[in-house]
Homo-oligomer: A and B are copies of this chain.
């Protein structure tokens, strides 16, 4: 290994090959929990250096794990427990993003953060429309194909991705340019799609060109307190029909998730004077200057008033905001849940019409089978994405990992087998959910995926074996 580390030092500079435990430790944690132990952390400064690393690693038969801003939630960007993998941090690939304002695109190195993209785009009244609680890197966003809270209007990273530079784990470190800065470009197999959402396990993403959108001049949010959760779907259809492309978010919050955010995040104010409704929906309308915020607010108020005036109105109350106060509640939920106890998280997706029926059934089943475990779900009801998260309160002591596994297994099986849903809506695949991948993705799909992975990345890169039927891997990390 000393030979390899020496050669790596020569390739990228010895100061960028970290081997001291004190230096390496901060690269062994992602957005959810600690990962395993790395042999070393490599910090290349260019795609040429990434290529050199992959060549050297291939010669020595060592696994390379690409890593972005460590905001991932499935463990795809951290090492395993064997201690023999190299973490390839893209954090030094951070040249200033290049905005093409007329084309509405930005080209950025893999290590550039989402917030930096938006700062650069903002100078031209543009933005990258992937709205996330975290601040991931460009490479990480593409590798996870992140979705977020404005997916309803703008889609995921994949649908906003025009070009990609990747370094192949083919033993030669081939650098491929896939696509470019063109909105329309159909010239054969669109290979960049293979690397998008592949958890860094098909190659190393070093640069991307992303589509930008005009920044809305006017934005109004309303938090709608509902008497019955299932009224959310009716409200969604109604607002979509009425506002069309002006509707940019439709987020749901269960009462326990709502209360957890307010109880644990001190800066927040209760929008309903302490009376938490059974279910709340955050609605956002966005517009160019053709509509003022006054006009948007009035139009939203009129639409909601029509529902509220009905004899059987499901709307209890409405709070309206033009800044970030209501979004702050929504974004505080994960922190509120962590402060409430141990979180058992399930990032699922369902057909939109199934979300509320799924919730009702799953709530009853979990209440009956695991009393003491609270369901604090929230999510992107507008796109069927549901963070069906549960909390085991601190007062109950620590949660048996086997019970946490059983709970997750139950929720995922219900979502996938009973509802045709997904066990990973927007967090992607990593060692923490590879067991579910092996369980629910059909064998024919895994088989073909594994063959493609072997073809594209014969050298081991990343943490995921897409052909895997080994349900044991990574189970030590689940929880």
Contact = CB atoms under 8 A, between A and B. Distances in A.
B445 A185 contact: no
Interface in A129-147: 144-145, 147
B151 A244 contact: no
Interface in A177-213: 177-178, 180-191, 193-194, 196-198, 202, 213
Interface of A: 100-105, 125, 144-145, 147, 151, 153, 155-156, 158-159, 168, 174, 176-178, 180-191, 193-194, 196-198, 202, 213-214, 216-217, 233, 236-237, 240-246, 286-291, 299, 303, 349-353, 380, 383-385, 420-429, 437, 440-442, 444-446, 448-449, 451-453, 455-456, 464, 466
A256 to B, nearest CB: 23
A380 B101 CA distance: 18
6 contacts: A182-B420, A183-B349, A185-B349, A217-B244, A244-B286, A452-B455
Contacts of A299: 290
B188 A437 contact: yes
Contacts of A180: 420
Given A174-B444, A189-B449, 8 more contacts: A180-B420, A182-B350, A186-B424, A186-B425, A187-B424, A187-B429, A194-B194, A246-B290
A353 B98 CA distance: 15
B351 A383 contact: no
A196 B188 CA distance: 10
Contacts of A383: 183-184
Nearest to A288: B244
A385 B186 contact: no
A396 B158 CA distance: 48
A223 to B, nearest CB: 20
Contacts of A420: 180-182
Candidate in A217, A244, A246, A422 with the most chain B CB atoms within 10 angstroms: A244
Contacts of A213: 244
Contacts of A241: 125, 214, 288-289
Contacts of A453: 189
Copies of this chain in the oligomer: 2
Contact of A380 (B184, B198, B286, B385): B184
A187 B103 contact: no
A286 B243 CA distance: 11
A186 B190 contact: no
Nearest to A189: B449
B426 A186 contact: yes
B193 A194 contact: yes
Contact of A153 (B181, B245, B446): B245
Given A125-B241, A289-B241, A197 B191 contact: no
Given A103-B352, A290-B246, A351-B100, A425 B188 contact: no
A245 B242 contact: no
Contact of A182 (B104, B144, B421): B421
A440 B185 CA distance: 13
A242 to B, nearest CB: 5
B185 A422 contact: yes
B288 A246 contact: yes
A184 B351 contact: no
Nearest to A102: B353
